Chains A and B, each alone.
Chain A
């Protein structure tokens, strides 16, 4: 079933970002022509080093750029046929696009359930209670935590942040570094759930990551950004087999990588770039 779907979705991606330029405080140019597409139902990942502009790209899409004095000064962003560049975050959430911000950002002086109910703020229907149960099914350990969310572990907070986004019943979720600060085992668990949510709920995802290993395991397609530009993109397999990607983002998966000499050359090459 997955294969024919892939061919038809070339028609009209759910989200397309076309050559956007983003400026903070009217002077700091951070994105210099970023384009990407996210087809409906897929998981797309956006990789890149610190400061590349990954979070900025997500904030440009979700409208949160405004809250940091940033602006899309060129290009356009199209979500399900609507122009959303420089739109209001509330309107964008209401149209079905939800950003889970970097660093989890749960409301620490509220309980898990209160945090989840907040996720449903824009909804008017009666299904909120059922959806809280649905979130607890994906993240069973949240159900046992009845205290303030500020006392949850880092992993649990990340789960709560993702669960909260589900409460909005979004069509697409933008996830900013879900692996941040989590142990490899937890990262694996979280990504497993992300994939499950995508499969079961049909929610389209754009995931920003530094941890390319994990991100490319779940993603259908990936983009790699460096200093405000997309430098490479391709399907999961294309990226996994790309020599540069292997070297810089996957920590060199091949055997030679283990020899001391090669590590040194890797470091040297990185400095040359």
Chain B
């Protein structure tokens, strides 16, 4: 057995998995506060990556400025999307809202292809790419950067929901909208802000992946990988989203290893997470971290 390859793949899995975790958190954020299943989450990454590309390449802005403008753009994008498209859907049947987000996903796919073309583009070199040696394994600096940024975002989420006023208000709204209003919280603001934060953080994830793999419509595939991650973790749990993301990342790479070394079926890595998802849901229907209401006895 090729242990070196296995460890290398597991390390990759961990790094990619934390990134899945970040996107899964964004998905859960929207689901928790607005009860909307956002099928367009992957396209948020796509838009973030392309907009940043436009700032950096077409307008030749320095990286930090282009990055900052992209964040502002994504924030405004999230708010406007919520206000214009999703606010009027409040109170409509769940299935209608789901159809709307699927529609958005298709629309953004098409729109980015139309505006930016269908070929893969790459960012100007921002960081020096080289491999460093960690415990005998080769890791590219870009991967390390991605891992560090993911951890940073997770810590930011933790702080935001634990200590910031808006974060508490978002949790309160997720728990009980009427009570939130009785406390003077504007549910409209909370909804708009959850879309804004979700779009912004997804945009960062899109840029990070874009730096490693280049920018192309393949980015939105993450939006699909996020489903096993969030369902695994429990749709309403942020911690679960992270754990689910990491598990999916590890699974993919283990499947890749087994497939490459023994089975030679090809592409096992992309379906393995879904098989495991089904098995776990048979055992724990609410996901690993999904909560039912606290019952007081």
Contacts and interface: CB of A to CB of B under 8 A. Distances in A.
B122 interface: no
Given A64-B178, A148-B294, A151-B294, A110 B172 contact: yes
B171 A119 contact: no
Interface in B181-226: 181-186
Interface of B, helix, strand, loop or mixed by DSSP = helix
B175 interface: yes
B171 A109 contact: yes
A164 B179 CA distance: 12
Of A99, A117, A118, most buried by chain B (CB within 10 Å of CB) is: A118
Interface in B265-280: none
B234 to A, nearest CB: 13
Contact of A93 (B175, B177, B184, B294): B184
B183 A119 contact: yes
A57 to B, nearest CB: 15
B171 A107 contact: yes
B168 interface: yes
A121 B294 contact: no
B250 interface: no
B182 A93 contact: yes
A106 B177 CA distance: 12
A168 B177 contact: no
A105 B168 CA distance: 16
A122 B184 contact: yes
Chain B, interface residues (CB within 8 Å), range: 20 to 34
B296 interface: yes
Given A151-B294, A151-B296, A121 B165 contact: yes
Interface residues of A, number: 28
A130 B63 CA distance: 44
A121 B171 contact: no
A137 interface: no
B291 A109 contact: yes
A107 B178 contact: no
The 5 A-B residue pairs with the shortest CB-CB distance, nearest first, are: A93-B184, A150-B294, A122-B184, A89-B181, A105-B179
30 contacts: A62-B182, A64-B178, A64-B181, A67-B178, A67-B181, A89-B181, A89-B182, A90-B181, A90-B184, A90-B185, A94-B184, A101-B178, A105-B178, A105-B179, A108-B293, A108-B294, A109-B171, A110-B168, A110-B172, A110-B175, A118-B183, A118-B185, A119-B183, A121-B169, A121-B184, A148-B294, A150-B294, A151-B294, A164-B183, A168-B183
Given A106-B179, A109-B175, A118-B183, 6 more contacts: A67-B178, A101-B182, A105-B178, A110-B168, A121-B168, A164-B183
